Amino acid sequence: MKSIPKTFIIGLCVIIALLVVVFGINYLKGINMFKASNYYYASYTNVAGLTQSAPVTINGYKIGLVREIEYEYDNPGHIRVELSLDKSLRLTTGTKAVLVTDMLGTSSIELVMGTGKGILEVGSTLEGSGAPGLMENVTSQLLPGITAMMPKIDSLLTALTAVAANPAIGTSIEHLNGTLTHLEETSRQLNTLMGSMPGIVKDAGATMSNVRSMSTNLNTISGDLTAVSASLKEMPIGPTMNNVREASESLNKVLQSLNSPNSSLGLLLNDRQLYTNLTNASASLDSLLIDVQRNPKRYISLKLF
């Protein structure tokens, strides 16, 4: 058996390495060499951000990729882009290849299917158009609005500066600080009051005990009053009142007798002469007693045997 020459082995290894490199590069580019594809073309005037292997999508779904980008020397100012699309895809007439740029500046191609009923042949040139990018939208739509707002912003800043420079602001802040100080003092007093609440609650408990005792005493007094009232109901009030009336009538008769000049008591009380005689007799008796005290020998005689 003959041995394999070294040159053959080396050549085979080189071929295998080249195949691996080719397949590896295409794989990194997203090209599947084992999958059949149809090729279409599109022409643009500006392909900024578009690179080979950029995705080609329909409604956000990747349906192919950009195979090659080359300048059209026979059509100055235009760039031709070769699109590798899925072999099963059928493009209708009027289909457009729209160049879309994202926020980072990377471009891709979005296929907008046409409304025609015909089918484009493989290798046809699609109508290429560019969608406005984010920066173009900012420049065309946002910047004019910002430019129009700048004078208003300047006026607003001027007004804010004037308000900040107003002395009333400082005064208001001082008043606010004073209010906060008062609130802090009030909070401190409230905390002190809350600390004394247990004593107040204790005193309130003692007060309630006294109130309960008073309530018990009042109940006792009420019972006694009830008993007294029952006793009063049982007393012979009618006969007693009759006796009082009779005593009052007797007293009235006595007073009438005293006032009448015809009765003995009336004569004693109303006789002026009797009063005068009694007065004179009292005066004479008084003189006699005085004379007895002064001259006892005149009235009393003592004899010694």
Decide if 210 is inside a domain: no
The domain total for the chain is 4
Q: Are residues 103 and 139 in the same domain?
A: no
**What does each of the 305 residues of the chain score in pLDDT, given as a tens digit?**
456 777 877 888 888 888 777 766 665 655 555 455 788 999 999 888 888 888 999 998 988 889 899 999 998 889 999 998 988 888 999 899 999 888 777 888 999 998 888 898 988 888 888 765 555 555 666 667 777 777 778 778 887 787 777 777 778 787 888 888 888 888 888 888 777 777 666 777 777 887 788 888 888 888 778 877 777 667 676 777 777 788 888 887 777 776 666 666 666 666 677 778 778 888 888 888 888 778 777 766 655 44
Decide if 273 is inside a domain: yes
Decide if 208 is inside a domain: no
Q: Are residues 61 and 126 in the same domain?
A: yes
- Among 109, 131, 153, the domain-final residue is 131
Q: Are residues 10 and 82 in the same domain?
A: no
Q: What is the pLDDT of residue 305?
A: 46
Q: Are residues 90 and 163 in the same domain?
A: no
Write down the H helix ranges in 122-196.
Answer: 134-137, 143-165, 167-195
Question: What span, in angstroms and rounded, lies between the C-alpha atoms of 128 and 103?
Answer: 21
Range of the domain at 75: 35-131
Q: Are residues 102 and 190 in the same domain?
A: no
DSSP 8-state assignment for residue 279? H
Decide if 91 is inside a domain: yes
The 10 Å CB-count burial string (b at 16+, else e) for 204-228 is eeeeeeeeeeeeeeeeeeeeeeeee
Question: Parallel, antiparallel, or unpaired: how do β-strands 55-58 and 61-71 relate?
Answer: antiparallel
Residues 6+ apart with CB under 8 A from 54: 65, 66, 106, 107, 108, 109
Question: What span, in angstroms and rounded, lies between the C-alpha atoms of 146 and 53?
Answer: 38
pTM score above 0.85: no
Q: What is the pLDDT of residue 98?
A: 92
CA distances from 124 to 1, 81, 92 (A): 57, 12, 11
Decide if 93 is inside a domain: yes
Q: Are residues 118 and 151 in the same domain?
A: no
Alpha-carbon radius of gyration of the chain: 69
Q: Are residues 174 and 252 in the same domain?
A: no
Q: Are residues 154 and 166 in the same domain?
A: yes
Helix (H, G, I), strand (E, B) or coil at 115: coil
Give the number of C-alpha atoms closer than 13 A to the C-alpha of residue 13, restricted to the C-beta side.
Answer: 6
Decide: 292 and 284 in contact? Cβ < 8 Å.
no
Residue 269 has a CB neighbour count (10 Å cut-off) of 15
Decide if 304 is inside a domain: no
